[in-house]
Amino acid sequence: MASLSPELMYFASRMSGFSTNIFKIETQNSSTATSSSIVAFDLPSNAIINLRSFKCFFKANANKVAASGGRLPPVKDLVERVEVSMGGVVLSQGTNFVNVLSEAKKAVCDHKEDCVLGHPEYVRETSYHNGAALTGTGNELDATYCIDEWEGFLGTADPMLFDTSIVPNMRVRLYLASDAVLSSVAAVTLGLLSGSFSDAATAATNTGPPTNTTAVGSPKFELSDIHATIECINIADMTYENMLASQMSSQGDLEVPYKAYYSFLDTHTGSSKFSVAASSLDRIILAWRGSNFSTVSPPVTVSGFKKQGAFVDDVAGQTAADIDIGRPQYDIGGVLGTNEEKYKGRYFNFSQPIRFGTATDWKAQLQLNGAYYPQFAAGIEEWWGITKNSVEGGKKVREMTLDQHRDNYCVQIARLNMPMSEFSRTLSGVDTRSTNLAGIVRTEGVAVADSPSLTIFAECTEVLKISAGRAISVVV
């Protein structure tokens, strides 16, 4: 019977004494924060918590500087680093530029961000969150948002139902980003002319999008009413506790694998170096941005989407064209869903590492301790094939054109571990502990004058080992 498929069996498993509830967690410091601040939460102790259910709620605005045209990015991007510690021991030092990592992953994978509380799209004239109308250089005002997806330990630790009674007290620290992640607009009008919402610009002077020529302000954001929630569960009998104690007794400790990321930022001039020492190096992620990525400017229009006005009359027989329905950059009907507006903040716009808008080709290759990956200098089309083969199993890649990939979503991924290994808790990546890996990203066809900014992320699997007496250690 045990060899038969579950689809052929008639049965139901039962667990008695299970209960669940949601708890609110207040911050350990202030419930109000601005850019570059730190927000800390202590997670419940002596409980089984659902790590994936950890959510941070807050009100956010870009209104600290009046009339600066402040626009918020997706609210997840307001956090630059997430650090989890147990009894003062940091599980992972926290990835710098975790917001860039998140956007780089979204540039490749078809990720549907929460529209209710996540602020996934940039607001031009009317907020889709609270219906507020914006005019001129008005800023986005207070509205309630939530971050409910996390990179690192909170989002990848397995098992996700984690017993905090067997570890020291857990603390989560959120390091907020700088105000450079915001955008600033001079008007809300859709169009190409100076003084429009976006794209009133001269030719590009670097690998990023053209720099908008419209004078903009220096907006600042603020978070208030910050708190978190988490799900805690309870099992009435001692079966689970006895099982953990038995496993510790027989194996010596419990192992909890999770993803950790190490970031390296460089101005690329033909080669960029990085170094990693890890027991399982799983992926290398390359995210290319223009050298002026941190310059606060209006949002960048994604290639193909509506960029300029197209007008119709609102009353039959009149000649005044006064309803702007917008015009896509591709076919007027809006091929591949481009009959809408879509923007990216300059800070999170990934563009190919050559002069923006040129037809010059480029090639890239990784060198890992003398070994080349791939075995040839690959162009952007070949790298896209490698990237599709390197995403985590089960994730769907983004539907986009080559034009959009070059201009707005230029991210490459190289997988070094076994396919689908994340689902079986298998550490199959490259072990670089004995010989610290020296990596180099080499490119051809990129002029020094183009000066692209390259952020390299090394994705590793680390293991939290839990022993008797709440003793813990981390295997990097």
| Per-residue pLDDT tens over the stretch 193-227 | 878 898 877 777 778 888 787 768 899 999 999 99
Q: Is the peptide bond before 73 cis (omega within 30 degrees of 0)?
A: no
**Residue 30 — pLDDT band, cuts 50, 70, 90?**
confident
Q: Is 143 helix (H, G, I), strand (E, B) or coil?
A: strand
Judge whether 250 lies within some domain.
yes
pLDDT for the residue numbered 94: 64
Q: Which residues pair with 397 in a beta bridge?
A: 109
Residues 181 and 250 grouped into a single domain: yes
What are 441-452's pLDDT values in tens digits? 999 988 777 789
Q: Which residues pair with 39 in a beta bridge?
A: 174
Instruction: Specify whether the CB–CB gap between 433 and 335 falls below 8 A.
Output: no
Residues 370 and 328 grouped into a single domain: no
Q: Which residue did the predictor score with more confidence, 445 or 108?
A: 108
For residues 332 and 299, give the distance between their C-alpha atoms in angstroms, rounded to a whole number: 22
Residue 376 CB coordination number (10 Å)? 9
What are 327-371's pLDDT values in tens digits? 888 888 888 889 999 999 999 999 998 877 676 788 999 999 989
pLDDT for the residue numbered 127: 92
Binning the chain into helix, strand and coil, the percentages to the nearest 5 are 15, 35, 50
Q: Which residue did the predictor score with more confidence, 381 or 17?
A: 381
Structure tokens at 461: 């699997």
What are 408-427's pLDDT values in tens digits? 999 999 999 999 888 888 89
For residues 159 and 140, give the distance between their C-alpha atoms in angstroms, rounded to a whole number: 39
Write out 272-305 in H/E/C secondary structure. Answer: EEEEECCCCEEEEEEEEECCCCCCCCCCEECCCC
Judge whether 37 lies within some domain.
yes
pLDDT at 302 over 70: yes
**What's the average model confidence in pLDDT over 105-119?**
90
Instruction: Specify whether the CB–CB gap between 170 and 86 falls below 8 A.
Output: yes
128: Cβ–Cβ under 8 A, 6 or more apart, which residues? 115, 121
Question: Closest by alpha carbon to 51, among 231, 258, 260?
Answer: 231
**What's the average model confidence in pLDDT over 378-384?**
95
Residues 87 and 198 grouped into a single domain: yes
Judge whether 247 lies within some domain.
yes
Range(s) of the domain holding residue 332: 306-340
Residues 128 and 156 grouped into a single domain: yes
**What's the average model confidence in pLDDT over 307-318?**
73
Mean pLDDT of the chain: 89
Residues 51 and 79 grouped into a single domain: yes
**What's the average model confidence in pLDDT over 14-33?**
90
Q: Which residue did the predictor score with more confidence, 112 or 83?
A: 83
Residues 287 and 352 grouped into a single domain: yes
- Give Cα separations from 134 to 127, 251, 365 (angstroms): 8, 61, 46
pLDDT for the residue numbered 420: 86
For residues 68 and 61, give the distance between their C-alpha atoms in angstroms, rounded to a whole number: 12
Residues 312 and 458 grouped into a single domain: no
Q: Which residue did the predictor score with more confidence, 247 or 343?
A: 343
Judge whether 1 lies within some domain.
no
Judge whether 6 lies within some domain.
no
**Residue 233 — pLDDT band, cuts 50, 70, 90?**
very high
Rounded to two decimals, the pTM is 0.93
Residues 333 and 350 grouped into a single domain: no
Of 322, 340, 358, which one is at a domain's C-terminal end? Answer: 340
For residues 419 and 391, give the distance between their C-alpha atoms in angstroms, rounded to a whole number: 9
- Percent share of the chain, pLDDT over 90: 61
Cα dihedral value 214, 217, 218, 224, nearest 10:
-130
Judge whether 4 lies within some domain.
no
pLDDT at 172 over 70: yes
Residues 382 and 315 grouped into a single domain: no
Residue whose entry in the numeric block shows the structure tokens 């602020």: 119
**What's the average model confidence in pLDDT over 282-308?**
93
CA end-to-end span of the chain, whole Å?
A: 42
pLDDT for the residue numbered 445: 85
Q: Is 414 helix (H, G, I), strand (E, B) or coil?
A: strand
Residues 183 and 60 grouped into a single domain: yes
Of 316, 340, 364, which one is at a domain's C-terminal end? Answer: 340
**Residue 191 — pLDDT band, cuts 50, 70, 90?**
confident
Count, residues in the chain: 476
Residues 424 and 437 grouped into a single domain: yes
Residues 347 and 266 grouped into a single domain: yes
For residues 234 and 47, give the distance between their C-alpha atoms in angstroms, rounded to a whole number: 7
384-391 contacts, C-beta under 8 A, 24 or more apart: 384/412, 386/412, 386/413, 386/414, 387/108, 387/411, 387/412, 387/413, 389/415, 390/283, 390/414, 390/415, 391/108, 391/109, 391/415
pLDDT for the residue numbered 318: 59
pLDDT at 404 over 70: yes
Per-residue DSSP letter, 126: B
CATH number at residue 133: 2.70.9.10
Judge whether 5 lies within some domain.
no
Judge whether 69 lies within some domain.
yes
Tell me how many domains the chain contains: 2
